[in-house]
Structures are given as structure tokens and as C-alpha cells.
Amino acid sequence: MQEPSSTRVQELVARLRAAGHRLTPQRLAILCSLARGDAHPSAEAIFAEVRALHPMVSLATVYNTIETLKEMGEVLELQFSTGNRYDGRLATPHPHLVCTHCGRIEDVALPALQSAVDAAARHLPFTAAVPRLDFYGICPACRETAPLQNR
Amino acid sequence: MQEPSSTRVQELVARLRAAGHRLTPQRLAILCSLARGDAHPSAEAIFAEVRALHPMVSLATVYNTIETLKEMGEVLELQFSTGNRYDGRLATPHPHLVCTHCGRIEDVALPALQSAVDAAARHLPFTAAVPRLDFYGICPACRETAPLQNR
DNA sequence: TTATGTGCAAACAGTTTGCACATAA
DNA sequence: TTATGTGCAAACTGTTTGCACATAA
């Protein structure tokens, strides 16, 4: 989890306040979890982290806070059939690497491809098309520890 | 639903048999539904179609058959947090347009972009990376009938 | 004849909702 | 003081599983 003093956490706090929302201790902890460096946590993972500081927190509060931040455009929801993940650092769509073995999700920088995707999005028959580009494979760590599977 | 005489249905039947699987009336109906022209049906949609011919069919049978075809590489599963969709016509990954209003899913031909995505997939730190590229927007039909929403 | 497939119903996981209570501002 | 937020528990959705029965080959 991030420190409450992290730049991104401070930014989220400021924007919540600016939008007329309150800052509870639970919320602050959720913000810290969402702004984590290794990010893309699940609601369950955020819940577990927050619970370490606030044993009485409920999952509903985690979902409520995420919903608020989503509406403000400060959190990107990555929907997966295995459970959604959240990115509280970069809320604009960007490509990801998804490990089908351990579930790890990494950002990947592919600027040229990103531009091509964005350009294509502007010329589709669907209005206001938002792209989603993910790559599903085996991460380096899993490749070593589980050498015989999924290769 | 497709006719049992459709080329793709015949192909699926032949491949099931070649793999040592049986062809039940329920299965044939499921194959026809999967090979439909306007495709990308959900399990529920396939179930509803098949039920018209076989009122006693169960959802489990639909999922079982889909699972078998997935393992054979004859059906592409498109996982969405709102429920999975299936493509029994073209089982290799390809981009889609997803209407966030009515749920309609269309194939979209973007050959140049597709090549760029496939090329990128080959140079990622994750092994055997399979790309998934979808665009979420409002389809032309929804744009007309629901002019004030999501625009 | 018998391995494969089917139908039912229960279990599961992640998410959402309703409502009384708590609290930040 | 009071609108906003919280915690709990129940409900919901799509999917998966176990098991006895049915049937294609």
C-alpha cells in the first residue's frame, strides 16, 4: 500500500474534497491501496489491505469508494470475468499484460501501437469508442516456477 | 440459429466426431446456434434458442458442449464481466466492437492494426501472449433510439 | 455394451443493494 | 446538524460441479 503522503494519494484526496465528498479513515486507506506502485488490485485485495488498518471495514465500502472514483474518472476499472481490477494511477485506457497463470497484471508501454489503436477508434461505426488492448500470456516469474504448464 | 446444413456446422460436426465425441440432438442444436451469422451469443442466448427445439435441455449441457469446443480450438470465448460470449465461426483472436448500450458485439476488420498487434505480441516479456482488442462504444442502432444517453 | 453426454439442483465467486447506524464537515 | 458514508447481511448473476440416469456408437 502507498503512504498517505504519496503525490497521487494527495491528488485523489484533493479531488474527492473538491467534488464535495468526505474523507473518512477507511477511504484514505482505500486511496492508498489504489495508488500502489505495483497496482491493479482487485476489490478483495484492497479490502484485505485496508482491513489490516481498519479491521471493521466492509467490502461494500470498498466498492462504494471505487464507484465514486470511477464516476470522477480517477480510477480505471479493468473488467475481467474472473473479477475486476482497478488502476488508481493512470485512469486513461492503456494496454496491459495479463499473466494467465498467477493473475498478475502489468502496464506495458507501446506508444506507437497505442496511437494506431486510438486512431482506429476514431473511425469506427460505433460512437465514442473506447479501446481496450490486453495481452494474455505467462509472466517471467511463472515461466520459471511452472516450467511445464501453459507453454 | 443456423441451419444444420450450414458449412460451418458440418465442419464442427466432423471435427467433434474426429475427436471421438458423440453427436446428440442437443449438441447439434448448440452447434447451429454457435455458427449463427450474427453470432457472439451468450450461454443464456444459446440455451434459449436450443430450448425452442428441445424444451428439456439444460444450461449445463450448453456449457459442457462449449467447453469441449473450446478445448478443440473451435470456439472463441470472449470473457466479459457481464457474462461471456462465444464465437463459433472464427476461433482466432480478432477485434470486436462492443455496444455498451445494448450489448451487441460485432466483428471489425482492421487488418493493418491486427498485424501491428500480433507483431507487438511477439516481442513482449510475457510468453505466448495472445492479444485481445475490443472497442467499447454505442452502436448505430442505439445512437438513434437512445439519443440522449452515453454520448 | 459402455464410455460419453444429459438434466437437475446445489454450490460458488464476485458484485450489488437495502437499510439502520455513524460521523465528517 | 445533516448529508454523506459505513457495516452488515441478503440478493443477484453467470458459471461450475456432483451425481444418477440416458443414449450414441
* pLDDT one-digit tens code per residue, A133-147: 999 999 999 988 865
pLDDT per residue as tens digits for the range A99-117: 999 999 999 999 999 999 9
Q: What is the distance in angstroms measured between the alpha-carbon CA of A112 and the sugar C1' of D16? A: 41
Are the CB atoms for A100 and A108 separated by under 8 Å?
A: no
Looking at residue B42, its pLDDT comes to 96
Given a cut of 80, whether residue B143 has pLDDT beyond it is yes
Region B75-100: what's the mean pLDDT?
95
Distance from chain centroid for Cα A84: 9
pLDDT on residue B147: 56
In this prediction the pTM is: 0.91
Distance CA B33, CA B9 (A): 9
Strand C contact with B60 (CB < 7 A): yes
Q: Mean per-residue pLDDT for B108-136?
A: 96
pLDDT above 70 as % of chain B = 94
Span CA (A83) to C1' (C15), Å: 9
pLDDT recorded at residue A145: 80
Q: What is the pLDDT of residue B30?
A: 97
Q: Do B133 and A133 touch (CB under 8 A)?
A: yes
A12 within 8 A of A3, measured Cβ to Cβ: no
Band (pLDDT 50/70/90 cuts) for residue B38 is confident
What confidence score (pLDDT) does residue B3 get? 77
The reported pLDDT for the residue numbered A146 is 61
Look at A117 and B143; give whichever has higher pLDDT: A117
What pLDDT is attached to residue A126? 96
Helix axis angle, B25-34 relative to B7-18, nearest 10°?
130
pLDDT confidence bin for B148, thresholds 50/70/90: low
The two beta strands, A96-99 and A127-138, are parallel
Whether chain A has a CB inside 8 Å of the CB on B131: the answer is: yes
Alpha-carbon distance of B40 to B34, in angstroms, equals: 8
Q: Give the per-residue pLDDT at B150.
A: 40
The arithmetic mean of pLDDT across residues B40-60, rounded, is 95
- Which amino acid is located at B85 in the chain? R
How many other CB atoms sit within 10 Å of the CB of residue A120? Answer: 19
Kindly determine whether residue B125 and residue A97, on different chains, have CB atoms separated by under 8 Å. Answer: yes
Question: 479493468: which residue's cell?
Answer: A78
Residues of chain A with pLDDT under 50: 149-151
3-state SS, residue B118: helix
**Interface membership of B110 toward A (CB under 8 Å):** yes
pLDDT at B151: 38
State percent of chain B over pLDDT 90: 85
Q: Which residues of chain B make contact with A126, given a CB cutoff of 8 A?
A: 97, 99, 135, 137-140
Mean pLDDT of B40-53: 96
pLDDT of residue A83: 95
Select the more confidently predicted residue: A120 or B143. Answer: A120
